[in-house]
Amino acid sequence: MAFPEPKPRPPELPQKRLKTLDCGQGAVRAVRFNVDGNYCLTCGSDKTLKLWNPLRGTLLRTYSGHGYEVLDAAGSFDNSSLCSGGGDKAVVLWDVASGQVVRKFRGHAGKVNTVQFNEEATVILSGSIDSSIRCWDCRSRRPEPVQTLDEARDGVSSVKVSDHEVLAGSVDGRMRRYDLRMGQLFSDYVGSPITCTCFSRDGQCTLVSSLDSTLRLLDKDTGELLGEYKGHKNQEYKLDCCLSERDTHVVSCSEDGKVFFWDLVEGALALALPVGRGVVQSLAYHPTEPCLLTAMGGSVQCWREETYEAEDGAG
């Protein structure tokens, strides 16, 4: 006889503060996990990028080479490279181990809000206040981008990449999805300036946040509105949103010092996590575990589920 499958554990939300990292790099503009969630990157207003082990609270390396504040960063799939963009209009490719600048790509006419590698880390995509997305070949010595996507009518606030798609959010109120296999562009009009976009982890949906203090979940293929999530405050800042590691909850920063979690299906508010006094500037969710990083002011907070027990030396 077959034994019944064990019931999957109900999702746990990260609400226990494990660590606070005082980053020592001015205001932290963005915090990002690496591909496996073992390390994180912090982008500083003091022009530096820092690599940490967040659970141990240890600083591993500092990357200096930007001429102005760093606004976003990403790690490659093999953890060998980083890319970053910032207020100096430059996109920088870094060697993780040596801390050296490998390439500095110039061409944007305004600050670079967002950067992403493609899956193979052969191309960096950068979105800028200049309304363009530029694609830079990491292996070529050519100074110009290999492709420029300039459909946005206002600044590009968010770019995400899947194996064959580019998802972009713009201040013009549109979310655009470029299907690179089909050579097609799909556009969904939200109406309010977009601050962040992302794919659900199963690739079926897109999540978009905008300056009307609303998050919307859309069916990726049809554009149908599947859910709306409200209660947080987002009226003036570019704030991050994402889905939890199992796509069970929608997560967003807020200008009132909290991180909000909503049940994805029900749309009900599940948790308003108090982080501190001020704007929760950025967040990052672990790829496989209920672990959240938040950035406020000059520090980053690391959160785990209530039942989490730190391993020896890690807590």
Quick check: 6 pLDDT over 90?
no
Look at residue 113 in the predicted model and tell me its pLDDT. 98
pLDDT confidence tier of residue 10, bands split at 50, 70 and 90:
confident
Look at residue 8 in the predicted model and tell me its pLDDT. 65
Look at residue 71 in the predicted model and tell me its pLDDT. 98
- pLDDT top residue among 28 and 180: 28
Please name which of 236, 234, 219, 232 lies closest in space to residue 271, comparing C-alpha atoms: 232
- pLDDT top residue among 231 and 6: 231
For the chain, give the mean pLDDT.
95
Look at residue 7 in the predicted model and tell me its pLDDT. 64
Q: pLDDT per residue over 135-187, tens digit each? A: 999 999 889 999 999 999 999 999 999 989 999 999 999 999 999 899 999 99
Quick check: 257 pLDDT over 90?
yes
Residue the block writes with tokens 């996507």: 149
- pLDDT top residue among 226 and 9: 226
Look at residue 163 in the predicted model and tell me its pLDDT. 87
Find the mean pLDDT for residues 18-22: 96
Q: Catalogue all structural domains in the chain, each as residue range(s) with its CATH number.
A: 16-304 (2.130.10.10)
Find the mean pLDDT for residues 75-103: 97
Find the mean pLDDT for residues 52-71: 97
Look at residue 275 in the predicted model and tell me its pLDDT. 98
pLDDT confidence tier of residue 69, bands split at 50, 70 and 90:
very high
pLDDT confidence tier of residue 1, bands split at 50, 70 and 90:
low
Q: Which long-range contacts (CB under 8 A, 24 or more apart) does 35-38 make?
A: 35/75, 35/76, 35/77, 35/79, 35/287, 36/79, 36/287, 37/286, 37/287, 37/288, 37/289, 37/291
Look at residue 168 in the predicted model and tell me its pLDDT. 98
pLDDT confidence tier of residue 209, bands split at 50, 70 and 90:
very high
pLDDT confidence tier of residue 5, bands split at 50, 70 and 90:
low
> How many CA atoms within 13 Å lie on the side-chain side of 91?
29
For the chain, percent of residues with pLDDT exceeding 90: 92
In sequence order, the 6+-apart residues with CB closer than 8 A to the CB of 292 are 14, 251, 259, 283, 284, 285, 286, 302, 303
